[in-house]
Structure 1
Amino acid sequence: MNNSFKVFKIICYFLSIRMFLSCGLKPLKSEYILQRSISDPVLIGEFDSGKILIYNGAEFNHKIDNSSTLNVWINNRALGQIKANEYVIIYLLPGKHEFKLIHNDIKKFESIHIVEVDNTTKIISVKPTIISNIVEIKDEIPDNFYMYKNVFN
């Protein structure tokens, strides 16, 4: 009886590890020219027209099981993979842009969002949710942005 309990514990251990590791996505190579941040910390006031900061605003419940990683496409071109607490800086012309986001949780969640970018757009947040993904235009960077790193680096 004691032996079978040990085997059961070992099987449960490996299954739980497999479950957490299965949430990962294969890396996606960017087709965009990623930009370095000019200043550290990032000062949004230094962004000229068309320069956009896109960050992964994943919350704690997604970071814990590695389901926070997003593969992002803009207008059917791969932007790349953005993990939790990471950001990219790219140039986007004003107009409507199609954002396609994919993240793995229990299953693969894919969503498409139309985002209207204008000359005042500087920050876009992308993040996974329990059943889909969200894309939001923001006015300011999050308070804990000092913990984020540029994917370009």
Structure 2
Amino acid sequence: MRRNIKLKKTVLALTTAALLTTGIAVPTHDADAATKKKSVKYKKSSRNVASVARSIAANRVYRYGANNSYAVDCSSFAQQVMRAVGKNVPRTTYAQMRAGKPVYSPKAGDLVFFNGGSHVGVYIGNGQMVDALNPYEGVRQRSIYYIHGSITGFYRY
């Protein structure tokens, strides 16, 4: 069962990537009823941002401009994780940066921005983040140094 879901996500991500590179419009609604996931509510006692971010990432694929229970882009992923841990942040990376407070000693739960704000990830500590990178790399945990370019900064909410 898990293998089928993973295969469906892979096929969908590859198809989306192919459509995006050909310029064909890709809808951002939930793909189909069979793959829909119910939104998970987290209790205050289980607000470990790393586990919340990994849990949300496990049920999402990357799709530019998407913000639903199946597909996300980097800023909507960050928004969904922050909402799940009880914090409200805006939808776009630039609005997220304006709403946050820059910090120089990042903690798990801060957002980390790259290349002037063109990308965002959820910092989970120890130089790691969970982010939605692109259709090929997907939504997952990776090093903050994995992103090509430079770190713009860490922001707290």
- Tell me which of the two structures has the higher relative contact order, counting C-alpha pairs closer than 8 angstroms and 6 or more residues apart: 1
TM-score, scaled to structure 1: 0.26
TM-score, scaled to structure 2: 0.25
Q: Which has the larger helix fraction?
A: 2
Q: Which has the larger strand fraction?
A: 1
